[in-house]
Structures are given as structure tokens and as C-alpha cells.
Amino acid sequence: MSLRCDTVLVKLRFADIDAPEYRQPGGRQAREALVALLDNRRLVVETRATDRYGRRIGDILVGDEKVSLRLVSQGWAWCGPRSARTCRSRQDAARDARRGLWQDAAPVPPWRWREQHPYRP
């Protein structure tokens, strides 16, 4: 038996990119950019792995495009250390065009921001 479901809540960490934390400079704008990319669109979620905390890691596709690569192209995310050349070239183009986070002369990568602002529940 198969069911069609129009709405499913899935919590997913993007594979191969890192975006600013919500309270970090640029974090709200990055989230707004993500919402604009996903809003009222048919999505495909591809889970690649589960991390040690039980969180899904993967990709979201709108059509045949990875949303994570679009965020990088718009300048709202950094490529991860193991990202493909495609991601790196999009990041370089966003930086050169000073899009998104790259409007700041020295944007702070999220991994550095998290080191300086440890999570306290």
C-alpha cells in the first residue's frame, strides 16, 4: 500500500555545507533565503546518513537542483571541507560577486562562531 502525503515534517541537516547560526550575523537572512527557496514547492528529501545524535543528514531537491548549492550560490552558506568542486566554484563566484554573507569584508564562518558562542540550553 502506498500513500500520498502532501505535508511531512522532516528535520534535516544539509550535507556538505554550513550556514550561519540563526543568532549569528547573516543567520536570519540565510534562513529567509532558505524559506524563499522552499516555500510552496514540491520537495524531494534525500537522506545520506544519520549523525551520532540521530539527526538526518542529506539534501533537499527542488526539481533537479540541490537547495544547498543554491544557498551557496546566493552567498548564504559555506561549502564544507569535503564538498565537491561544483560547490567550491559556486562559493568562489558568490564571494567574487559579494552576494549574501560575502557583502561583509570578513564574514565569520559558522564553525568559528560556534566555537566563540558555545550552545547553552
Catalytic residue chosen out of the listed positions 13, 31, 95, 99: 13
Is residue 55 part of the annotated active site? The answer reads yes
Is residue 13 part of the annotated active site? The answer reads yes
Report the candidate in 20, 15, 14 with the shortest Cα–Cα distance to residue 117: 20
Report the candidate in 111, 100, 102 with the shortest Cα–Cα distance to residue 33: 100
Catalytic residue chosen out of the listed positions 21, 70, 95, 114: 21
Catalytic residue chosen out of the listed positions 28, 55, 88, 98: 55
Catalytic residues: 13, 21, 55
